[in-house]
Amino acid sequence: MEQPISPKKSSIKMNMKPGTYYWCACGKSANQPFCDGSHRGGSFSPLKVDITDEKEVYWCACKHSKNKPFCDGTHRDL
């Protein structure tokens, strides 16, 4: 099974406005933490995320969180 690339072994903290976002699951996007289509031809697909209220979000950047797309601290064990 193909494993994602970990572009960063930490979270990406962002203040998000309401909207629909596509989180990069493969780790290849140049627009982390969001998908730019770099997964094409691979086994990964972006994860659709609907943010309903403006809030601070900690996006997973290691791509191994068990709470995808949000950070759960897994990067500390990689």
SS3 of the chain: CCCCCCCCCCEEEEEECCEEEEECCCCCCCCCCECCCCCCCCCCCCEEEEECCCEEEEEECCCCCCCCCECCCHHHHC
List the beta bridge partners of residue 70.
Answer: 59
Stretch among 3-7, 24-28, 69-73 having the lowest mean pLDDT: 3-7
Q: What is the pLDDT of residues 11-25, one digit of tens each?
A: 999 999 999 999 999
Residues forming a β-bridge with 12: 59
Q: pLDDT tens-digit profile of 30-70?
A: 999 999 999 998 899 999 999 999 999 999 999 999 999 99
